[in-house]
């Protein structure tokens, strides 16, 4: 028997096949674009994502050569993105992604209607353009035909589950990231749906992570090359699935996930909705692990900035990587040193994330000279992202959350340079699990729970989590980056007004 974790991210999807000992047997991945039809918009073709997800599933089981052994499939998905669908579950407009920032006016309405602090205490979500609630309000106000025509409004988890099974189901974990969810009573919020004038039937039914939704549709199983009909399980938000895969099964454990966005998650035994976390715009929602919650920081530009740099300026490295079977990022950073880059970047390419949540902020570069190299620029990007990480860690610590170790997952966890930078800049040891694609593993584990393969989730994770390496802060480098961090904290307030004028 084997398990499959399907990870639907913002810029790509992956399918990972694990055996029952959670050994990774095979993977497949596809990339897809984020469409920017207007400067503040970020949209995606959900049907294209589904097509590529099917390709990943098919390729991964072919590589693993176990098409008749996949017992269950669990899902790890990007959060907040909303897709109106018809009665057949087909998208009737482009998905509005979490990183979309068009909803400033809708958020102002929500502040007037509810009050920002009341919304935070009710849903765990700060008022921000990332949330699903203001996106729905935008559709209602600007696309009345879509609002009236839609049979349901789905996130990627329930969208894909519906494609797989014909049933709409969403995890409590992902539902609690929408700002439509009553965190205390663990259900869709009647108060918010009443104000939005959205009938409950327009949303998917909510279940705990690791729930058996049903078997894969027979015709789809045949199309994908299965000789059986695997169980489909609710999973959760990709960051919370990653937190599960990284071993966050006890309060106080922390993870940093570096993918399209960069996120820190810390497990909690209860939703501690204190003033410091509210002021820092932190979000709090249900974990994929039963009985736990997570507090999350967000830099929504994250690794997407590095991908933009690669795709825009590194054509030579990408061609060499393709012809030589290498990684383009390895070529980009091959001459990088551990000392700070001579230039500094503000990585607010999609506005700032936590703690500022300034949607009008934009990227900036300072310190350029004719001596600046491509490597200097690339190194400055990952330094800037890590400075943002440190800003957020300090807010968490001020909010009473102690972090002694960061477990690193995601694409960025494959870079030893970046992991050492995280340790040097934050002053916190960074550990790298052997399986950096922890979100896929977390989803697979939840599939195993749904199938009855795993009964003790804590024991499963602790038994199979293996740490590959620990990166401890280099005190000499840390002293240099402490000086640079003091300068970095001045950058956003210095260019804030200029960016607004632009």
Within 8 A by CB and 6+ apart from 196, the residues are 133, 136, 137, 140, 180
As beta bridge partners, residue 366 has 344
Q: What is the pLDDT of residues 215-240, one digit of tens each?
A: 999 999 999 999 999 999 999 999 99
Q: How confident is the model over 241-254, as a mean pLDDT?
A: 93
- pLDDT, mean over the chain: 95
User: Rounded CA gap, 147 and 137, in Å?
Assistant: 9
- Residue 359 banded pLDDT, cuts 50, 70, 90: confident
As beta bridge partners, residue 470 has 431
Per-residue pLDDT at 319? 94
Other Cβ atoms less than 10 A from the Cβ of 322: the count is 10
- The single residue listed with the structure tokens 């935008």 is 138
CA distances from 12 to 7, 53, 56, 57, 164 (A): 8, 9, 10, 13, 19
Per-residue pLDDT at 441? 93
Q: How confident is the model over 402-424, as a mean pLDDT?
A: 92
Q: What is the pLDDT of residues 135-178, one digit of tens each?
A: 999 999 999 999 999 999 999 999 999 999 999 999 999 999 99
Nearest to 77 by CA among 145, 20, 6: 6
Nearest to 14 by CA among 415, 329, 443: 443
Token output for 290:
């039963």
pLDDT > 90: what percent of the chain? 86
Which one-letter DSSP state was computed for residue 216? Answer: P
For the domain bounded by 297-435+466-501, which CATH number is listed? 3.30.420.40
Per-residue pLDDT at 437? 80
CA distances from 68 to 2, 18, 352, 388, 397 (A): 9, 14, 46, 46, 48
Q: How confident is the model over 358-367, as a mean pLDDT?
A: 93
Q: What is the pLDDT of residues 438-483, one digit of tens each?
A: 899 999 999 999 999 998 899 999 888 888 999 999 999 999 999 9
User: Rounded CA gap, 231 and 448, in Å?
Assistant: 9
Per-residue pLDDT at 445? 96
As beta bridge partners, residue 284 has 295
To 10 degrees, what angle do helices 238-245 and 438-450 make? 90
Per-residue pLDDT at 216? 98
Q: How confident is the model over 175-189, as a mean pLDDT?
A: 98
Per the model's pLDDT, the better-predicted residue between 161 and 500 turns out to be 161
Within 8 A by CB and 6+ apart from 198, the residues are 136, 153
CA distances from 422 to 38, 89, 122, 161, 428 (A): 34, 42, 34, 36, 8
Q: How confident is the model over 31-45, as a mean pLDDT?
A: 94
**What is the rounded radius of gyration, in angstroms, for the C-alpha atoms of the chain?**
22
Q: What is the pLDDT of residues 45-90, one digit of tens each?
A: 999 999 999 999 999 999 998 867 899 999 999 999 999 999 999 9
For the chain, the structural domain boundaries read: 297-435+466-501
- Residue 364 banded pLDDT, cuts 50, 70, 90: very high
160 upstream amide cis, omega within 30 of 0: no
């Amino acid at each position: 028997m084997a398990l499959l974790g399907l990870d639907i991210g913002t810029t790509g999807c992956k399918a990972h096949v694990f055996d029952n000992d959670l050994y990774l047997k095979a993977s497949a991945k596809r990339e897809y674009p984020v469409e920017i039809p207007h400067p503040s918009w970020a949209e995606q073709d959900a049907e294209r994502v589904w097509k590529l997800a099917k390709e990943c599933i098919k390729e991964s089981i072919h590589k693993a050569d176990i098409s008749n052994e996949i017992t269950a499939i669990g899902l790890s998905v990007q959060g907040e993105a909303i897709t109106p669908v018809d009665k057949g579950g087909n998208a009737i407009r482009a998905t509005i992604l979490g990183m979309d920032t068009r909803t400033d006016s809708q958020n102002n309405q929500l502040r007037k209607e509810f009050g920002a602090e009341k919304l935070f205490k009710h849903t765990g979500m700060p008022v921000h353009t990332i949330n699903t609630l203001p996106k729905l309000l935008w559709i209602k106000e600007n696309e009345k035909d879509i609002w009236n025509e839609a049979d349901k409004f789905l996130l990627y988890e329930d969208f894909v589950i519906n494609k797989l099974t014909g049933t709409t189901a969403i995890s409590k974990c992902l539902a609690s990231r929408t700002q439509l969810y009553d965190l205390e009573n663990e259900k869709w919020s009647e108060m918010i749906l009443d104000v939005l004038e959205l009938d409950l039937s327009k949303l998917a039914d909510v279940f705990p992570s690791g729930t058996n939704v049903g078997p894969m549709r027979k015709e789809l199983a045949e199309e994908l090359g299965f000789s059986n009909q695997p169980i489909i399980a609710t999973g959760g938000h990709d960051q919370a699935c990653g937190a599960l895969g990284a071993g966050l099964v006890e309060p106080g454990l922390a993870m940093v996930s570096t993918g399209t966005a960069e996120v820190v998650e810390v497990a909690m035994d209860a939703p501690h909705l204190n003033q410091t976390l509210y002021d820092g715009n932190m979000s709090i929602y249900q974990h994929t692990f039963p009985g736990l919650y997570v507090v999350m920081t967000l830099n929504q530009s994250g690794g997407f900035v590095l991908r933009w740099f690669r795709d825009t300026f590194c054509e030579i490295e990408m061609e060499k990587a393709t012809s030589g079977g290498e990684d383009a990022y390895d070529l980009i950073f091959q001459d990088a040193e551990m000392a700070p880059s001579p230039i500094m970047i503000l990585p607010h390419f999609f506005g700032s994330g936590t703690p500022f949540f300034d949607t009008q902020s934009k990227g900036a570069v300072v310190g350029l000279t004719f001596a600046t190299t491509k490597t200097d620029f690339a190194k400055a990007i990952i330094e800037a992202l890590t400075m943002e990480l440190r800003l957020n860690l300090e807010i968490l610590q001020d909010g009473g959350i102690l972090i002694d170790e960061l477990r690193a997952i995601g694409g960025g966890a494959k870079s030893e340079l970046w992991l050492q930078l995280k340790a040097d800049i934050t002053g916190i040891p960074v550990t790298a699990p052997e399986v950096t694609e922890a979100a896929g593993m977390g989803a697979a584990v939840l599939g195993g729970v749904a199938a009855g393969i795993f009964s003790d989730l804590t024991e499963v994770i602790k038994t199979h989590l293996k740490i590959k390496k620990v990166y401890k802060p280099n005190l000499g480098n840390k002293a240099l980056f402490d000086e640079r961090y003091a300068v970095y904290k001045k950058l956003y307030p210095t260019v804030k007004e200029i960016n607004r004028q632009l």
